[in-house]
Structure 1
Amino acid sequence: MSGTTMIVLIVLISVGSGVIYDMYKKHLEFKHKMQDNNQDANKQLAEVSAQVVALKERVQTLEAIVTDSSYSTKEEINRL
């Protein structure tokens, strides 16, 4: 192997390893961003789930009021 070939190989290996290192750094940054996004999505999901539970409780309360016999009696009196 000649000296020129060795120099070319050394340069290619150096440049190639630099490119691979940069790609790995970008991969780690992307992975970190995805984890942050997943955490934000999980927080939003928890908030929405809490709101759904609260709304279900309110609907159950309203259903209990509307189906109560005294409510229907009040409505009949108001109609008269």
Structure 2
Amino acid sequence: MSGTTMVVLIVLISVGSGVIYDMYKKHLEFKSRTLKDSKEANEHVAAVTKELVELKERVQTLEAIVTDSSYSVKQEINKL
């Protein structure tokens, strides 16, 4: 193997390993960003689910008030 061939191989190996290292680093950054986004999305879903449960409870309470017979009597009295 000549000296020129060895120099070319060393340069190719160096450049190739640098490219592979950069690709791996980018992969790790993407993975950490994805996990962060996933955690934030899960927190948002939990908050929205909690709010939905609270709203359903409020609607049930309002339905109970409106369908109560004494409520309609109060409405008729207020009309007079």
Same fold flag (TM > 0.5): yes
Runs of 4+ in structure 1 off by over 6 angstroms are: none
Q: What's 1:6 paired with?
A: 6
Distance in structure 1 (CA, Å) of the matches to 2:70 and 2:5: 97
% same residue: 73
Q: What's 1:26 paired with?
A: 26
Per-residue CA deviation, residues 20-42 of structure 1 (Å, 9 max, x unaligned), is: 11110111011011101110110
Which consecutive unaligned segments of at least 5 residues does structure 1 have? none
Which consecutive unaligned segments of at least 5 residues does structure 2 have? none
Number of equivalent positions: 80
Per-residue CA deviation, residues 9-57 of structure 1 (Å, 9 max, x unaligned), is: 1111111111111110111011011101110110111011000000000
Counterpart of 2:28 in structure 1: which amino acid?
L
Q: TM-score by structure 1 length?
A: 0.94
Q: TM-score by structure 2 length?
A: 0.94
Q: What's 1:69 paired with?
A: 69
